[in-house]
Chains A and B, each alone.
Chain A
Amino acid sequence: MKKSNYTRRDFLKISSLVPLPLLISGFPISALSSSGYGAVENENDKILVLIQLNGGNDGLSTIFHADQYANLQTVRNNIIVPENTIINFHKEYGFHPSLTGMKEVWDTENLGIIQNVGYPNQNRSHFRSTDIWNTATSAEEFDNKGWIGRYYDLNYSDYPNGYPNSTNPHPFALTFGKIVSATCQGVNTNYSLSLLDPFNPGNAYVSAGGETPQNCYGNVLSYVNDTVAQTNAFATVIQDAANSGNNQSTKWESLETELAKKLKNVARLISGGLKTKIYIVQIGGFDTHDNQVVENETTTGIHTELLKELSDAVCAFQDDLSLLQVSNRVVGMTYSEFGRRIRSNSALGTDHGTAAPMFLFGSCIENQILGDHPEIDTQVGIEDGVQMQFDFRDIYATILKDWLGVNLSNIQSVLHPEIQILPLFKSGCITSTSIHQQNSDSDIQLQLYPNPESNLLNIEFSANSGQTYITVFDSIGGVVAQQIAEVNSPTLQRISIDIANYATGSYFIHIKNKTTTKSKKFIKN
């Protein structure tokens, strides 16, 4: 890697997209890969449950901040729920009225809320953005493999040849649905099986195999033959787990939703001893361009139903896991391809936006709200979404490290070199193989002035020593400029950037180092 000799002045002129891969190529990888651990690690017995909210969940109708309600009401007058219906669960924050289950998960200290999760240069296409979340690539990169798939590729890249076997008798991952999740796509095949009914996973007929020539026909034929073999082999272990497992929570009794049925089965399989580490369940319908709520009855409607389905199912699942005494082995995470616009539209809906909150749950999850609440400006533009604070890949990285026990250099190869480990887990639960610092997010102090400004903006921050990324985002999540700073002193740092060439409007300064993240808005006049 060559050392760059660009001057500070060059940075100040930057006013266009910085493609992230270039950034990565300029990053000193060795700075983070000094842990010295080998590639293969012993697997622990931890389990991850992914809940994908298809369509783009409206985070601003999910969690409310008391200080922002009035402004939010101004820009979302037709869809916002009345303030007195919001469930207070924290001195500043409240939930959508349908999230009674989440409140319970919070009260039992099993809920982590990560605010403003997204990625730079937000893509507002469902399909592309879903691919980005599933493959955990940057907005400019393309990778056919999913992030869970790449994780398994570390040690099992020969899969599916010779699986299941005595060392790996159980499926690596299960998707509840008819199509396997793209998160599990590996180099050869998808690591996930599909499952609807664990008592009857389905058996395939085995016929005499023919020739499999070295062409695309042979390739497809082998794929079908392999699927037959695996279907039958794995069906037995799944069925056995379903038969020996059980559910304990009485909360399931009143729940008839698809999500509840799926999570109930996940709990049952875990209690039945299935060693599958990754479960994926999906719930669709979050693309609420219109009729997100019922007119004048904003606590009812599609979004309410969806949140209720999610919240009730997660609450019952968590309760079941506790009663089954496996809760310290399981965490769950919700994700969605984007949040929605800050302003609602006149069809009682919201269009595709930018960042949104994520839920993490489990007895090992730190009960907290990580990050800052989105600041709502009543003059917000029609296209504006919530500015990202956390990169979703850092959440993935933390789960890989602190939960699945993957070492840093492997995480860097699965995700990206510049990961930031976040304080997501209760300290007694962390299973990572190396020590890392977990700082509170107050670690970075950030001030911008004057604000608004038209020429020279001063950025003043103090941060723990080390590599610090300073990024300018526009209001729809695009990266306007970025640079890396090496901070070798904890004292106050100040830089000025020339914004004279920026179009007028709102922007965000985003500061991130190995452990913390902060972002603040400024207005270009």
Chain B
Amino acid sequence: MCYYYPYHVLAYSIKIIIYVETIAYETISNKIMPYLDKYLGTWSFKEAKHLLTRTTFGPSQQMISSAIALGLAGTIDKLFTVLPLPEPPLKSVPDGTGNNQLNDPGAKYGETWVNAPPFPNINPPMLRNRILRSRSKSLYSWTILQMFYSEISITEKLALFWHNHFVVSSSTIGHREYKYYSLLRRYALGNFRELTKEITIDTNMLLYLSGAQNTNNAPNENYSRELLELFTIGKGKLVALGDYTNYTEEDVVTMAKALTGWQVPPISNVNTLTAQYSSNLHSKGDKQLSHRFNNAVISENGNQEYKDLIDEIFKQDECSRYIVRKLYRWFVNYDIDLDIEENIIEPLAKIVRDNGYEIAPALKVLLMSEHFFSTTACMVKSPVDLIMSASRGLGIQPPQGNVEKEYDFAYNLFVLASDIEQSLFHHPDVAGWKAYYQAPQYYKLWINNLLLPKRQDYCRLMVEGGDFSYLETRYVVSSLIPILDLVKNIPNAQDPNDLIDSIALMMFNYPITETQLSSLKEILIPGLPDFEWTVEYSTYLEDPTNTSVKLSIESKLRNLVSIMLRMSEFQIM
């Protein structure tokens, strides 16, 4: 086994050079696509819930009923209807100078601040910063509110998808973040390539990935690297010096040059939200890409050059596969084996390409497919999905008629999600939340010994109420699951077995076992026979105005649901 060289000087064992070929998925024939065949099976509560859980945030029971009535095709049509942009965020802190009050020169309480100058020209700086912070806070709350208000529409789930794709995670001003997120929402169902162009010169992005620092004298490749590695084509294996299969180190450098010249006007400038092109900061001349882009030349084209560059990147089919894999991990499952690659990813990628990088047609095929409905539901809920399923999913709605309360309610949920590691506008880094890319754990990363107790407890808050603290601030949860409304449509709710089974179906993917049922009955009616519940609930139904019976029923149901929300089954969707 062992080498032995009986020489006195040197003996050589020479290594051969082998370029590792990446697996080419070009072998799809014209065979039918069984995996993406249109789903023709039963359309019932279970399927409607599955579709809406994955395409919206914590669908309410009413939404699921509507979807059942609409049918699969009807629901898909409704999900993919392009909606106008929502009304902009409002100033949610009351005017004044007292506690919990604030005067914003850009907007009165209840009016939107997005049309005001981005920089409040006010002193002292501490007051100015309070105004800026209140705007950002209003934006974060409002983003959660859109998840509540958007009903049967895939828009918000896709907007968050793009937020996790074109990550900007920095503490900037609310105006910039609003403009950036509106761009993502505007393109949510739209064209991947065109969105890439717009995001490239979005001021939020220019600041985040140093695009605004990228000049002819000192190219900064921070953006061009992520543009390739994370935003468009993805990084393949290192197969030769500086060659990552899909692009090379040289391409990173060359592309940075094509992207030079874009500046962000100072914050005090009224045009600070619009990128400005400075010809004298642009690296002039033609830029030649590597063989990975067929040695294409990006001709000098001034302020249009970035578009030419992005068009050139998107000529590579790999861009379509890259985005389809990410969409698959977002909507279906993280596990992409060769079978899925061949039968799901590749055909969908072709649809994406055939539609000029519009993503909706391919996504519709996926979400209407046999595959989507036959896949076991085993996704760990993201924090936002968890919080939404424990609130909207069980009947909680934002308080109406009082902007401050409405926004505070939503801000609580934003903070809860932040504390369990999904903070909107504040990703851990430019690659986005690890649960969507970090092998081998993927979604399981949302859960560990630290996060699980919090996840359980925050669900409990939705039914029991109470307070929690985050970054040394205390928050109170006071909008609770309307427990009596939730059970009122359950047929035969007088039978504790039917009651618990029905609630379990609302909350979990699969029915609970006999053991679990008995254990939950012990929570509802400890040590008592079933008929005690039947008697008491029937009494309540006969006279719902009887306060003492009502309170007694309500507290028993709250105990029950509080436990069910903390069951491991509720962590999965």
Docked CA distance A207–B564 (Å): 8
Contact A217 B509 (CB under 8 A): yes
Contact B376 A28 (CB under 8 A): no
Measured between beta carbons, the chain A residues less than 8 angstroms from B449 are 193-194, 201-202, 204, 227, 230-231, 234-235
CB-CB contacts below 8 Å: B212-255 with A: 213, 215, 217-222, 225, 229, 235, 237-242, 249, 253
CB-CB contacts below 8 Å: A17-53 with B: 17-19, 22-23, 26, 28, 30-31
A363 to chain B, nearest CB (A): 31
Docked CA distance A180–B2 (Å): 41
Binds A, one of B112-120, B192-200, B340-348, B435-443: B435-443
Pick the contact of B1 from A30, A121, A202, A489 — CB < 8 Å? A30
Docked CA distance A484–B13 (Å): 6
Does A124 interact with chain B (Cβ within 8 Å)?
yes
**How many residues of B are in contact with the other chain, CB < 8 A?**
84
A41 to chain B, nearest CB (A): 25
Contact B452 A227 (CB under 8 A): yes
User: Secondary structure at chain B's binding surface: helix, strand, loop or mixed?
Assistant: loop
Contact B452 A28 (CB under 8 A): no
Docked CA distance A383–B420 (Å): 39
Which residue of the partner chain B has the closest CB to A25?
B15
Contact A4 B13 (CB under 8 A): yes
Does A70 interact with chain B (Cβ within 8 Å)?
no
Docked CA distance A128–B238 (Å): 10
B450 to chain A, nearest CB (A): 4
Docked CA distance A235–B443 (Å): 23
Measured between beta carbons, the chain A residues less than 8 angstroms from B99 are none
Measured between beta carbons, the chain A residues less than 8 angstroms from B13 are 3-4, 6, 26, 483-484
- Known interface pairs A180-B448, A486-B10. Does A28 touch B569 (Cβ–Cβ under 8 Å)? no
Measured between beta carbons, the chain B residues less than 8 angstroms from A194 are 448-451
Measured between beta carbons, the chain B residues less than 8 angstroms from A7 are 12, 14
Contact A17 B10 (CB under 8 A): no
Pick the contact of A216 from B3, B378, B420, B520 — CB < 8 Å? B378
Does A155 interact with chain B (Cβ within 8 Å)?
no
- Known interface pairs A28-B1, A194-B448. Does A488 touch B8 (Cβ–Cβ under 8 Å)? yes
Binds A, one of B142-150, B292-300, B510-518: B510-518
Pick the contact of B12 from A16, A19, A195, A484 — CB < 8 Å? A484
Contact B453 A208 (CB under 8 A): no
Binds B, one of A246-254, A313-321, A415-423, A472-480: A472-480
Contact A30 B2 (CB under 8 A): yes
Docked CA distance A18–B253 (Å): 24
Does B40 interact with chain A (Cβ within 8 Å)?
no
Does A520 interact with chain B (Cβ within 8 Å)?
no
Question: Which of the listed residues B13, B421, B452 has the most CB atoms from chain A within 10 Å of its own CB?
Answer: B13
Contact B8 A489 (CB under 8 A): yes
Docked CA distance A26–B1 (Å): 11
CB-CB contacts below 8 Å: A40-96 with B: 54
B245 to chain A, nearest CB (A): 12
Pick the contact of A16 from B241, B420, B443 — CB < 8 Å? B241
Contact B238 A140 (CB under 8 A): yes
Measured between beta carbons, the chain B residues less than 8 angstroms from A488 are 5, 7-9
Docked CA distance A293–B31 (Å): 59
Does B126 interact with chain A (Cβ within 8 Å)?
no
Does B364 interact with chain A (Cβ within 8 Å)?
no
Does B28 interact with chain A (Cβ within 8 Å)?
no
Contact A347 B210 (CB under 8 A): yes
- Residue-wise, chain A 270-300 has the 8 Å CB interface mask toward B (1 for contact) of 0000000000000010000110000000000
Measured between beta carbons, the chain B residues less than 8 angstroms from A18 are 15, 17
B436 to chain A, nearest CB (A): 12
- Known interface pairs A17-B17, A231-B453, A487-B10. Does A220 touch B235 (Cβ–Cβ under 8 Å)? no
Can you list 26 pairs linking A and B with CB atoms under 8 Å apart?
A1-B3, A3-B13, A6-B14, A14-B15, A16-B240, A19-B20, A28-B2, A124-B249, A126-B429, A140-B20, A140-B237, A182-B438, A194-B450, A204-B456, A205-B460, A205-B563, A215-B378, A221-B569, A228-B452, A230-B449, A234-B449, A289-B220, A346-B218, A349-B210, A483-B13, A485-B12
The 7 closest A-B pairs by CB, nearest first: A346-B218, A6-B14, A208-B519, A202-B453, A194-B450, A347-B213, A216-B378
Contacts from B to A (Cβ < 8 Å): 1-3, 5, 7-20, 210, 213, 215, 217-222, 225, 229, 235, 237-242, 249, 253, 333, 335, 376-380, 420-421, 428-429, 431, 434, 437-441, 443-445, 447-454, 456, 460, 509-510, 512-513, 515-516, 519-520, 563, 566-569, 571-572
Contacts from A to B (Cβ < 8 Å): 1, 3-4, 6-8, 10-11, 14, 16-19, 22-23, 26, 28, 30-31, 54, 121, 123-128, 139-140, 144, 178-180, 182, 185, 190, 193-196, 201-205, 207-211, 215-217, 219-221, 223-225, 227-228, 230-231, 234-235, 284, 289-290, 345-347, 349, 351-352, 383, 474, 476, 478-480, 482-489, 493, 495
